[in-house]
Amino acid sequence: MREFGSDLDCWRTMRQRSVRRHLILLFSVTLLLALATGAVAIGFPGGTFFDDDGNTHEGAIEAIADEGITKGCNPPQNTNYCPDDPVTRGQMAAFLVRALGYTDNGGGDLFSDDDGSTFEADIDKLGTAGVTRGCNPPANDRFCPDDLVTRGQMAAFLVRALGYIDDGGGDLFVDDNGSTFETDIDKLGTAGVTRGCNPPANDRFCPQDFVLRDQMASFLSRGLELSVSAPLDRVDSTNGPKVNMLEIAGGQGCDATSWVEQRTDVCSASASIAPGQPFYVEHGWGREDWSSESPAEQLAFISDSTRFDLFLNGQQLALFEEFLVENDQANKGFRFQFYGNLSQTTHRLVGEWVEDDFVELRVILDLDITP
């Protein structure tokens, strides 16, 4: 076993397969566990993304992330949402296609100006569904995928997508008279999807303002009637203390060095914590000399075939994943933060390091909850 430092944390590595492949203990955690009725309820303290903590729309952002409507804004890590960025027409197409489940692309290539766009397939599906009519009437053979979406345009997109017809008598806002989108704005307001742009009065809609990504999350969550609740505050375990850190491949009795030497595939460990206490698990994979890897090797490492899986009492847990490259070292980390009341008995955590869909190491940790 070798230890070396980084700006983020202390990384412990175990040699495996080749000099560049390691099991790695990583730095941070974000998984919520509650066993109120015997079932496991999972969520993320601080939320899925790191750049929206404290944002007014954070609960809505979490809601659309849970539905798969947003995937983040910084692939492949996708740890950020970019809440203050304006929404482009291409992004709007992706949001709505994922939200409404459109699949028909009408044969593709509906517009002449989106060739090569990341969102071309979504744009074709949106056009086939009749939600977009193009951006250059009367020809409407262009979509303008990189143009920013105004609030008025957003109203038209959502009204067509969600089929609103009631305008509540019209003239709900004082600042959209004469707007091409006034009727759509009134329908959106009547449906409760928009509340205006100048609280607490909210008698204005600001139809010419650009829609921001955080605002779009709220529009979508209201329109789709998603359950919205702000996540718990994020616990800083990067710089702060790591309470009840379970190093299941090292610190709790699993002899990782012996595992590497003997090539056994199962290692046993144990730990105990007091009732009601949080606990953390953080592990992952790493490779040195990342730049020397072939594109195929890099893709295989980034893909889901190389991962860390965690099970609690037989149930697989959804984990927070992060990929980063620093000093030519690629690190693929999986973070877990558990809260709640586990019953005062022994619970079984099973961690599996999987490479190329093959379990390289399985660690079984018996966790005793004792006063």
**Tens digits of residue pLDDT in 106-147:** 999 999 999 999 999 999 999 999 999 899 999 999 999 999
* Ranges under pLDDT 50 in the chain: 1-44, 236-241, 251, 259-263
Domain membership flag for residue 126: yes
Q: What's the number of domains the chain is made of?
A: 2
Q: Which domain holds residue 263?
A: 2-43+235-369
pLDDT at 23: 40
Both 353 and 251 in one domain: the answer is yes
Both 155 and 266 in one domain: the answer is no
Both 178 and 285 in one domain: the answer is no
Find the Cα–Cα–Cα–Cα dihedral 231, 6, 284, 27, rounded to 10°: -20
pLDDT at 250: 54
pLDDT at 59: 92
Both 218 and 102 in one domain: the answer is yes
Both 147 and 290 in one domain: the answer is no
Domain boundary among 186, 203, 223: 223
Both 137 and 284 in one domain: the answer is no
Both 179 and 268 in one domain: the answer is no
Domain boundary among 223, 252, 274: 223
Tell me the whole-structure pTM to 2 decimals. 0.59
Domain membership flag for residue 33: yes
Domain boundary among 193, 223, 253: 223
Both 71 and 166 in one domain: the answer is yes
pLDDT at 355: 86
pLDDT at 13: 29
Look at the block and give the residue holding tokens 């698990």: 281
Domain membership flag for residue 281: yes
Both 70 and 207 in one domain: the answer is yes
Q: How far is CA 206 from CA 140, 162, 217, in A?
A: 25, 21, 18
Give the burial string for 301-324 (b: 16+ CB within 10 Å, else e): beeeebbbebebeeeebebbbbbe
pLDDT at 45: 57
Domain membership flag for residue 49: no
